[in-house]
Chains A and B, each alone.
Chain A
Amino acid sequence: MRSTISRRHFLKSSFFAAGTAIAGTGAADAAAGMSDANNEPLVTLIDISRCIGCEECVYACKDANAHKFADPRKPFPRMYPDRVPVEDWSDKRDVTDRLTPYNWLYIQYATAVKDGQELTLTIPRRCMHCQNPPCVKLCPWGAAKQETNGLSRIDSQICLGGSKCKKVCPWDIPQRQTGVGLYLDILPSFAGNGVMYKCDRCYQKLEKGEQPACIEACPEQVQTIGRRSDMIKKAHELAKEMDGHIYGLDENGGTNTIYVSPVPFDQLVYDTGKGKPHLKEVKDTMADGSNLALAMVIAPVAGAAAAVGKFYKYMKEEA
């Protein structure tokens, strides 16, 4: 773990100084209007033991983000080849038992046994807001972005709906709506397929210093939002109090959503499938790329050394 951190810092300082300058500008821009005074990501801590499954958060999310939902143009353009799936949720906007382009947060029911008693737990599920989000980092068009306050979001004006973000997301969170977005103005039959949607942690409310709608609306104070270091400390305290378990600290290299459960996460029984994310252990999906970045620093040095070595060998032979 220690070596990973030092490698990351080494890489950051080894590449071009201009890269750091760009990153710094980005940090400054994104920080404007955010509430994280120390530029530390914000984390939401979700205490599963408090959730009663009332779905207040679900409806608050729908209300707060209704203006962002898709209004697709129909009929949809014919897409080629025929295998390209049409994904239309516009006539099923009321669905709340899974993630959809019109439902960015849902309540997942789970059962478990604790101290010989069967428990039913209700778990608010939405985007985990990874610390190094593959949906943002691997989007080929830059349609997704991450802000310094830890949230990641997809720009519906730029997204082409290729669904790569969903495929690289360990939890398959983003959901597609066909018939909307930029692809309609480019090559609707041959490239793109709509727009991907997911929780953006109510960025518009955070910019005003308000809390995300799901947190505001919860009558049981299931969620708490705050600086990462504070929330991690609180999560450990909470876990100690209830003899509980934490999810999100290490998953996919760490996420900005942390769950605390009275039952080990691998003992929870719940429905998974389309629009219903799991709660399994997740390795850091971006780690291989980050490790290979080190090779990109070493390779030119090795190349130069080989050429110089060859030159001196030649000069020696000439002499």
Chain B
Amino acid sequence: MFYHFKSRRTAYGLILFFIALSGFAQMPIFKRYYIADIPGLGWLAQFYVTHVIHYGMAALLLGLGMYVAVDYFLAHRSSSSKSGTINRASRLTLSAQVKIISLAGLILTGCFMVIKNLSEVYYPHGVIIGLDLLHLLFGMVLLGATAYTWIRRRTWIR
């Protein structure tokens, strides 16, 4: 009743695609390797454009993430209060847990990085490097887990 998986999945998939693409575009690789030369992909070499897209997608991801989390919590609360037990059927799979942990890491490090990018905010150099590397690491874990679940057709919930 509470889960409209298809529309959520589509929204999440689109957000994940564009946030990952614009995230990798923060590195100067798309011009070097001719990807930005492909008609329609020139924006991948424009750092301010990809920066804004990355931020916009991050806002959408936060909105969707909060929507899903609150919806999940309320659904559980409702079903457990009716049955007196937690609904075992809607427990998260292991791959979903990995994805959620990496998403949480991405959001946390991303928030720190957004604050860093505001004017008159100074972070120690080591923290900046740490955040950059952790953000990249969480991103790779998320993409790896997403690829695994996509290929093996694993779902988020058992």
Chain A residues within 8 Å of B, Cβ to Cβ = 8, 11-12, 15-16, 18-20, 22-23, 25-27, 29-30, 81, 83-84, 131-132, 137-138, 140-142, 145-148, 155, 158, 162-164, 167-168, 191, 253, 285-286, 288-290, 292-293, 295-296, 298-304, 306-308, 310-311, 314-315
Contacts and interface: CB of A to CB of B under 8 A. Distances in A.
Interface string B72-92: 001100100000000000000
B115 A15 contact: yes
A142 B132 contact: yes
A314 B117 contact: no
Interface residues of B, number: 51
B122 interface: yes
B111 A15 contact: yes
Interface stretch (B54-62, B95-103, B141-149): B54-62
A307 B122 contact: no
Given A286-B117, A296-B114, A303-B64, A155 B125 contact: yes
Contact of B65 (A83, A288, A293, A303): A303
A145 B117 contact: no
A140 B27 contact: yes
B26 A140 contact: yes
Interface in B1-51: 1-2, 26-29, 32-34, 47-48, 51
25 contacts: A11-B115, A22-B112, A138-B47, A142-B125, A145-B125, A147-B122, A163-B28, A164-B27, A167-B28, A168-B48, A285-B48, A290-B117, A290-B119, A292-B59, A293-B115, A296-B58, A296-B59, A298-B59, A300-B65, A300-B66, A307-B68, A307-B71, A308-B70, A310-B71, A314-B1
